[in-house]
Amino acid sequence: MTKITTLLAGTAIAAAVAAPAAAEKWDMPMAYAASNFHSEVGANFATCVTEGTGGGLEIVTHPSGSLFSGNEIKRAVQTGQANIGERLLSAHQNENPLYGVDSIPFLVSSFDEHEKLWDIAGPKVAEVLAEDNLHYLYSVAWPPQGLYFKKEVNSVADMEGIKFRSYNTATARMAELTKMLPVQVEAAELSQALATGVAESFISSGATGYDRKVWEHLTHFYEVDAWLPRNAVFVNMDAWNGLDDATKAVMEDCAAKAKAEGLARSKDYTAFTLNGLKEGGMTVQRAGDALVDELKAIGATMTQEWLESAGEVGREIVDAYNAM
């Protein structure tokens, strides 16, 4: 009996050692529709982590602001209400100017330019996120930003009085400088805002307009390539520190894959969505030279304001980029 008891005890210990740690489930709030390429890349990232950890860490995405609205996601992850999330970084420029480095008007206007800027700015932004109790995993740029209107616009004067959807400090400031009326509207609320007249115009990529079928309410999209904002995926720092090294390695590997996939998808989605806007009946064209010149003058003012608020670190980033 003693031998049997000893054998059973030994078997139990061996089984306990061999068994994986208790599986964890992490909910991942996201602000954009499930069909948006950012959400699809995020879903692929979640699957990668779940499979890569053998189910030890399951990540479940919640798009369209269904778990937390866009403006709640960063705070929810900071405070541990969610362990991981995705957020448009520039929406938090009011908290730290460096979060808006990707929205300096006309500093960069293409994917290649933007990736060079992010190579310089990304590590600095990751440091700011760490100060906010967040571990940076990866980020993906939106396509270049253009202007949506419900009428033909040839100059800044044509914009005066239009209700303009803002989603960060830069867009709100642009509205002020063009004499439009800024209205804070999250992506998930955009369709309703346009349908009810709360907003009549906005700046975004072709992707947002296509996803939200804005041709039902608006008529013109002007390509101005003002900037390429980024959506970032980050983890609550306490939750990150609680992971073992093997799980962290899986997440970092999946993050690298998601970043590469996201960039490729963003590039491909640019032409696809602009064609989709045309098929929906919108007029899609490059903004006229006069309008672009006026916007760039406004951009110069906004750039100077950003540099003043961002201080030495911001100046170092911009100087290093311009020196490339």
Domain count, the chain: 2
Q: Does the pLDDT at position 18 exceed 80? A: no
Mean pLDDT of the region 166-184: 94
**Does a structural domain hold residue 17?**
no
- Asked if residue 233 and residue 214 are part of one domain, the reply reads no
**What CA dihedral angle connects 194, 200, 204 and 205, to 10 degrees?**
70
Give the whole-angstrom CA distance, residue 314 versus residue 317: 5
- Asked if residue 206 and residue 86 are part of one domain, the reply reads no
Residue with the bigger pLDDT between 16 and 273: it is 273
Residue with the bigger pLDDT between 7 and 21: it is 21
List 166's β-bridge partners, or say none. 184
In this structure, the number of other CB atoms found within 10 A of the CB of residue 190 comes to 23
- Asked if residue 56 and residue 203 are part of one domain, the reply reads no
- Asked if residue 94 and residue 35 are part of one domain, the reply reads yes
User: In Å, what is the CA distance from 243 to each residue of 54, 85, 132, 253?
Assistant: 14, 17, 19, 15
Q: Does the pLDDT at position 49 exceed 60? A: yes
List 314's β-bridge partners, or say none. none
**Does a structural domain hold residue 14?**
no
Q: Does the pLDDT at position 133 exceed 90? A: yes
- Do residues 224 and 145 make contact, with C-beta atoms less than 8 angstroms apart? yes
- Asked if residue 218 and residue 133 are part of one domain, the reply reads no
Q: Indicate the DSSP class of residue 168.
A: S
Residue 44, domain extent: 22-142+229-274
Q: Does the pLDDT at position 148 exceed 50? A: yes
- Do residues 231 and 88 make contact, with C-beta atoms less than 8 angstroms apart? yes
Helix 289-322 vs helix 169-177: crossing angle, to nearest 10: 140
At 22, is the pLDDT very low, low, confident or very high (cuts 50, 70, 90)?
A: low
**Does a structural domain hold residue 7?**
no
Q: What is the pLDDT of residue 167?
A: 87
